[in-house]
Amino acid sequence: MRYLANGPKNIAIRKTTYQSSYIQGYTDVAVLAVDGNRRANGGGFCIITGINEPYTWWEVDLGRDYYIHKLAIYFRTDIKDRRNGVRIYSSTEANQANTGHLCGATTINSLDVTTVTCDSTARYITLYREQTNNDGRSTMDFCEMEVYVCDAGTFGDDCSQFCHCRDGPCNYTTGYCTGGCKQNWTGANCNGCDSSHYGDLCRKQCSSRHCDGISSCDVNGTCTFGCDPGWMGTDCIEKCSDGQYGKACGKSCVQRNCLDSSSSCDHVTGECAGGCNRGYRSVDCTELCSVGTYSYNCNASCDDRHCSGNQDCGILFGTCTQGCLSGWELPDCAVRCRDGTYGPGCKFNCSEKHCKGDSTSCDAEHGTCLNGCQPGWKNQSCSVACDTGTYGPDCRLSCSQRHCQDEAASCDHISGSCGGPCKGDWKEIDCTGCTGAYGPECSSSCSARHCKSDDAPCDHMTGSCDGPCGAGWQGDTCTDKLYYKKREKLTIALFFSLPFPL
């Protein structure tokens, strides 16, 4: 695995330098080889040693030991014979001679910028030259010396490869880790992710992906068969963009049919939290109702309607186009008549009948009065007046039993009214009630009864107390004394009060 890196670092710049000799007028120029100026077309920015010397040298002190990867020498381009026979040494001690670790040597044909690989630990780099020039001189000149080291954890020619060793840096050339790898890494160079990780620095876990099916985990965490619904990207760890959801993020939140539709939704399912509009179903409300269903969330059944005749069932309202059976409401004939209506399409009102109770107390299908009829009316729908000669509740009262002063008086079918005065002490609108009396011709006084309650009712026909009698009285009218019962109680009391048996 390769990563972007800063590349090798030049550690020689502006470090302490020395050289064996100088040409007159060019003293203290040794530092020019580490000043960062690589100009190579003239001597004004380059070092030059003395002439007519048996040998010459130039040396840089790097300040401490480094593992030297490679170095580069920038020669003058106008005088090439002085680059011939230059040998480069590395050492841990000040050298200033042709000893130490020989990194390489140059010839007259060496490149203007010559690179040499040292792969050694050193503090000093020495360039050494003897009398090998064509003119018999050992003079040496060059413009810049750059010494490169790889940062810890990098290796290779350009230090662009990383190693992740557990103990110390890897080999700067091969990248080999001698002490094993850090967590999540594997391989001889510890530059590959283990089987459970991927990505930059192997930080991502293969198990955190949302792959569709079983997928291997390469360096990019690629999901071979794509992503689970709601996820995207090569490794399927990125949620769908806002407003998208589902497989390959191919569905749009705004194209759903939600009751509370919005531009954003659950990135996996697109769920409509408030349910679906009429005619749609499924979690994301994108499927039409199946055959035989309709309305919101398709939760109404066509079979539950009460249409008049066999009719089609639209997925929105399930409308019965030919009307409803008696007792059911439009548009889908699935709701019983309510609010005091009945019949086909609930077109009729219970209040138009003469039902006992409130105006909604009739059967939704046929209009039958559920609590019976108001006085003066009969049949199931309470729409027929009592027959001539009868009146009142259920038409069970007879006009002939009234006590009208005018025996030929009319008889209202509701109240039985005489339309005039009553005979004698008879009262009420139908002249069948007595004032403080009861019985034939109101001949018996209500006050002569012995009801337990002082305010007990007094039926004008029977005089019944409609409750218990007072002590010592019995009968419907509480006018019969309890003589025998009193005698029996007295005998029993006397028996138990004697000192010996009779």
54 cis-preceded (ω within 30 degrees of 0): no
pTM of model > 0.75? no
**Structure confidence at residue 132 (pLDDT):** 65
Q: Could you tell me which of 93, 154, 99, 102 has the C-alpha nearest to residue 124?
A: 93
For residues 428 and 32, which has the higher predicted lDDT (pLDDT)?
32
**Structure confidence at residue 9 (pLDDT):** 85
Concatenating the DSSP letter of every residue in 444-478 gives EEGGGS-BSSTT----TTT---SSPBPTTEETTTT
Lowest mean pLDDT among 24-33, 149-158, 367-376, 418-427: 149-158
Q: Rounded to an integer, what is the distance from CA 235 to the centroid of its chain?
A: 22
Alpha-carbon distance of 99 to 11, in angstroms, equals 22
Mean pLDDT along residues 167-176: 84
Give the C-alpha distances (Å, rounded to integers) separating 322 from 31, 308, 332: 108, 6, 10
Alpha-carbon distance of 270 to 244, in angstroms, equals 8
Task: Give SS3 for 393.
Answer: helix
Give the C-alpha distances (Å, rounded to integers) separating 432 from 423, 439, 446, 455: 10, 10, 15, 21
**Structure confidence at residue 186 (pLDDT):** 93
Alpha-carbon distance of 24 to 22, in angstroms, equals 6
pLDDT at 294 over 70: yes
**Structure confidence at residue 489 (pLDDT):** 45
Alpha-carbon distance of 481 to 102, in angstroms, equals 150
363 neighbors 348 (Cβ within 8 angstroms): no
**Structure confidence at residue 298 (pLDDT):** 94
403 neighbors 431 (Cβ within 8 angstroms): yes
pLDDT at 351 over 50: yes
Q: Which helix (H) or strand (E) holds 493?
A: helix 483-497
Alpha-carbon distance of 165 to 162, in angstroms, equals 10
In this structure, what DSSP letter does residue 247 have? G
Mean pLDDT along residues 32-46: 79
Distance in Å from the first CA to the final CA of the chain: 129
**Amino acid in position 390:** T
Alpha-carbon distance of 298 to 285, in angstroms, equals 10
155 neighbors 174 (Cβ within 8 angstroms): yes
In tens, the pLDDT along 70-100 reads 899 999 988 888 889 999 999 999 988 999 9
In tens, the pLDDT along 117-136 reads 888 889 999 999 987 656 66
Lowest mean pLDDT among 125-139, 140-154, 273-287, 339-353: 125-139
Alpha-carbon distance of 205 to 373, in angstroms, equals 81
b/e for 131-147, b at 16 or more Cβ within 10 A? eebeeebbbbbbbbbbb
Which residue is listed with tokens 């880790």? 177
Alpha-carbon distance of 257 to 270, in angstroms, equals 11
